[in-house]
Amino acid sequence: MNRLVKVTGTDGVVEAAFVYDRTGFLVKEMNAADYLSADTDEERTGTYYTYDYEGNDLVDKQEHYHVEKEFKVNG
């Protein structure tokens, strides 16, 4: 799948990084500070995304807050 996985500035510093699941859904997004926080994507801090069976983004988890979203099937 053609997905953006890393944004690197002209100075060589990673400005953002992205991790996807097997189906292509974004499951983790990291900014520059998150990327520098550890050596592997699994250990790095960032924003995590969870989806329902229809692909709706249900939960965004960051280190200091948690956002849940609800979708109605019929409007």
**pLDDT for the residue numbered 9:** 95
- Could you tell me the pLDDT band of residue 5, with boundaries at 50, 70 and 90? very high
pLDDT score, position 71: 47
Q: What percent of the chain clears pLDDT 70, i.e. is strictly above it?
A: 77
pLDDT of residue 64: 53
pLDDT for the residue 36: 94
Cα–Cα distance measured from residue 60 to residue 14, given in angstroms and rounded to the nearest whole number: 22
Average pLDDT of the segment spanning 62-66: 56
35 CB-near residues (< 8 Å, 6+ apart): 14, 16, 17, 44
How many C-beta atoms lie closer than 10 Å to residue 65's C-beta? Answer: 8
Q: Is the pTM of this model over 0.85?
A: no
The structural domains of the chain, with segments of one domain joined by +, span 6-68
